[in-house]
A and B are shown apart, each in its own frame.
Chain A
Amino acid sequence: MPAPASSIDALTIAQLGPLLRARKLSSLEVTESCLQRIERLNPKLNAFITVTAESARREARQADREIQAGKYRGPLHGVPLSIKDLFATRGVRTTAGSEVLANWIPDFDATAVHRLREAGAVIVGKTNMHEFAYGVTNDNAHYGPARNPWNPTLIPGGSSGGSGVAVATVQGFASLGSDTGGSIRIPSAICGTVGLKPTYGRVSRYGAIPLAWSLDHVGVITRCSEDAAIMLKAIAGHDSLDASSSDRTVPDYRDEMRGTVREMKIGVPANYFFEHVNREIASAVRTAISLLEQLGAKLTDVHIANLEPCSAAEAQINLVEATSYHEKWLAEKADEYEDDVRVNLEAGRYLIGTDYVKSQRFRSTLKEDFARVLETVDVIVSPMLPAFPPKIGEEWVQSGDMREDVVDAFLRFAIPYDLTGMPSISIPCGFGTNGLPIGLQIAGRPFAESTVLRVASAYEKATDWHRRMPPLEMQ
C-alpha cells in the first residue's frame, strides 16, 4: 500500500515557499531532510550519480541569509531540487550517464540550471539517467540502474529516471529533465510524479547535452502541477544561446492555471492512443476522463490523422541527429558507449538523407493535423503509457493484447508531442492492482502550457493520487 506522506516530505513547493519566506522553516533544515533521504535511499534506488551535499548546504545557508535580510527571490528560493546529469553544471561533474563524459567538469551552467540558481534554488545533486538520454529504461551499466521506488526490481522509466525517482521519494522537491521521445513523461508516469514537457522553444536547450536537436525539450518533474508551473516560470524564456528559443512572453502560469475546467473542451482520441493498452491502465484513464466531465468539461471524440508514421519518423530523426552529434566521440572512444547506445549510434550512419527530410516534412503535416483538432478542443487526453514497467533487464512489456519491445511501447503515446513540439504533461491518475502508478497524458496547443496545467490542476484538486508516496520501506 502507498504510504501517507508526513511533515516536510508531504509539502509541495507551493506550500514550502511561504514557510521558507516566513522563516517557519529554514532552507538548511529542508535541505538536510532531503540529504538524509538521499543518504538513506541512494544505495537502494540509485537516483543520483553525483550528490552535491556540501555545496547544497552552502547554498541553503546563503538562501536563509538572503531571506532573513528581506531579499526573497520567489517560490524556489531555498528549495532543494535535483538536475538530470545531462545538464552542464559549473564546477560539478556532468556525465550524461556515460563513461564518455565521466570526468567532464563544465565551467558553465546550462541556461535552465543558471535560471534555477538565479531563482534561489538549492541543488542537491545530479540524477541518474539512460546513457546520453538514449533510452527509456535507465538501465545504466556505468553508474548502475536507477530503480523503481514502488518496486525496486522494476525500471523507473527513462531517460530522466533518476529525476523521477528522486522526486517521488522527496530526495529533492523537483527535478530538471529533458524529453526527446518521452524522457520526462515516461518516468513520471512510472514513478507517480508530474512530468511537464513544455512547447519546443519555450525553455532553452543550451548546456543540455543534445540527443536530437530538433526533438529535444527541457522540462520538469514535480509532485503536483502547481509546482510544475513554478518551475516552468523560472526556467522559461528567450535565450540567445539557443537558436530555437522562443521570444514569446512568459506568462504567470500559476495565475493562468487557476480556475475550473467548466466548459473546457477535452478531446478524447478515437484512434491510436487507446489501442493496445493494458486494461487497468485504460480503465483508470477512462475514469479520469469521466471525472473531468463531472467537473464540467465537455468531452469530444477526436480523430487525429496520420499518426502511424510517427514511430518511423521519430526513429529516423533521432538516430540521424544523434549520430551526427556523437560522430567525433564515436571515432575516438566508441568502446566507452553502452551496447544499446552504440548500436543506435552505428545505425544512424546508414539511414539516408531523403528519409530524414521526409520525416521532417511529415512533422509539418502532423502539426497541421493536430492544429486542426485543437481548433475544436482545448486539450487532448490519453494514457501516457500502454503498459506497466518491466523488470530491470527485461526488454518486453505486455500492452494489452500485444507484447512489444519496451522502447516501442513507451515511446508510442509520447512521441507525437515531441514531433509536433506541443506541450504535454503526465499526471498520476490511479494505481494498478500491482501497486504501480498510472499516468494520464494531457496535451495542448503550442505555448498553451497554462491550459494543460489548468486541466491537470483541476484533476488533482478532485483526487489524491499525486499525494501518494512509495511504500514506507522505500523512504
Chain B
Amino acid sequence: MKQKSQIAMSMQRGAISRRDWIATATFAAVGATVYAPVAAAQQTSWVATLKSMEPMTGSMLPDKWAAPVADLVGIILESSKGLRSLDLRGTEPATIFRAL
C-alpha cells in the first residue's frame, strides 16, 4: 500500500458531497456521534452492493479497498442526484464520435 505523507486511506472527494449525503439522509440535525453509526451502516450497505457487482464488473474488489471505494461511490452517486434529475430533452453528448 502506497502511503502519502500523512494521509490515511480515505475518500478523496468529500466535504460538500459528504455533508450533502448525510444531510439528505435526514440526519442533519443530529449530533456527530449519531452520524457515525448511521454512516457506517450506509457504508456497509454500499460495500455489499459493490461486492455483489463482481459478475458485472468482471473484477473482484479487494477487501482492504472496499470501504473507501464504497464511500467514494456512495458520495458520487448521491451528489449525482441533481444531475440525474435534469431534463435535458434531446440534448446530445458534448463529445460525439466523428467518422473520418
Query: B4 to nearest A CB, angstroms?
Result: 5
B32 contacts the other chain (CB 8 A): no
Residue contacts A-B, CB under 8 angstroms, 21 given: A141-B3, A214-B95, A313-B83, A316-B76, A336-B2, A338-B2, A339-B1, A349-B59, A350-B69, A357-B93, A358-B84, A360-B94, A362-B86, A364-B88, A364-B93, A365-B88, A367-B94, A392-B6, A394-B6, A395-B14, A407-B14
Residue of A135, A141, A312, A338 touching B79 (CB-CB under 8 A):
A312
Residue of A319, A349, A351, A364 touching B91 (CB-CB under 8 A):
A364
- A344 to B69: give the CA distance in the assembly, Å: 7
B39 contacts the other chain (CB 8 A): no
Q: Which residue of A lies closest to B97 (CB)?
A: A243
Point out residues on B near A: beta carbons under 8 Å: 1-7, 9-18, 50, 53, 57, 59, 61, 65, 68-69, 72-73, 76-77, 79-80, 82-84, 86, 88, 91-95, 98
Residues from 346 to 371 in A contacting B, C-beta threshold 8 Å: 346-347, 349-351, 355, 357-365, 367
A409 contacts the other chain (CB 8 A): yes
Residues of the A chain whose Cβ atoms lie less than 8 Å from the Cβ of B88: 358, 361-362, 364-365
Residues of the B chain whose Cβ atoms lie less than 8 Å from the Cβ of A395: 7, 10, 12, 14
Residue of A141, A312, A367 touching B83 (CB-CB under 8 A):
A312
Flag if A338 contacts B4 (CB, 8 Å): yes
Stretch binding the partner chain, chosen from A85-93, A254-262, A398-406? A398-406
Contacts A311-B79, A313-B83 known; A349 to B57 CB distance under 8 Å?
yes
- Please give 6 more A-B residue pairs, beta carbons under 8 A apart, in addition to A306-B86, A405-B18: A214-B94, A309-B82, A342-B65, A343-B9, A358-B83, A365-B91
Contacts A139-B4, A395-B7 known; A355 to B15 CB distance under 8 Å?
no
Residues of the B chain whose Cβ atoms lie less than 8 Å from the Cβ of A316: 76, 80, 83
